[in-house]
Amino acid sequence: MLKTPNESVPQNMVTLKSLQARMHEIENMDVSSFQYQQAMAQITGQEQGEAHAMLGVFREAWYLRHHFFLWSWMAFVMVGSLTVLLIGDIVLLCLAYEL
């Protein structure tokens, strides 16, 4: 389904859990301390570029799981099938009334 490790939901969950653990480590630190400032700068620097992509993976995985009928190829198949069925029904009704 997902082609690269960066698009892997399980791999992104590992990264997210790691970030969560790091945040729990620093939540009890004094916010004015150098150690806290350094930890926050490190987390911000590491996650700032990756967080948007990670959230995109989670969003797309959720979307695919809960709205599978809206996938572009699936929507095309569904609309095409419904169109064929509708045309077939109209043709059958027309033939039935002409007999």
Question: Do residues 3 and 45 share a domain?
Answer: yes
d(Cα 26, Cα 32) in Å, to the nearest integer?
A: 12
d(Cα 77, Cα 80) in Å, to the nearest integer?
A: 5
Total count of domains within the chain: 2
pLDDT score for 2: 47
Question: Do residues 60 and 18 share a domain?
Answer: yes
d(Cα 53, Cα 30) in Å, to the nearest integer?
A: 31
18: domain range? 1-66
Q: How high is the mean pLDDT of the chain?
A: 79
Residues in Cβ contact with 70 at an 8 Å cutoff, skipping those fewer than 6 apart? 63
Closest CA relative to residue 12, chosen from 64, 55, 60, 65: 55
Low-confidence ranges of the chain (pLDDT < 50): 1-2
Question: Do residues 76 and 37 share a domain?
Answer: no
pLDDT score for 3: 54
The token pair at 68 is: 């599978």
* H or E, element range at 64: helix 34-66
Question: Do residues 3 and 47 share a domain?
Answer: yes
Question: Do residues 13 and 35 share a domain?
Answer: yes
3-class secondary-structure state, position 97:
helix
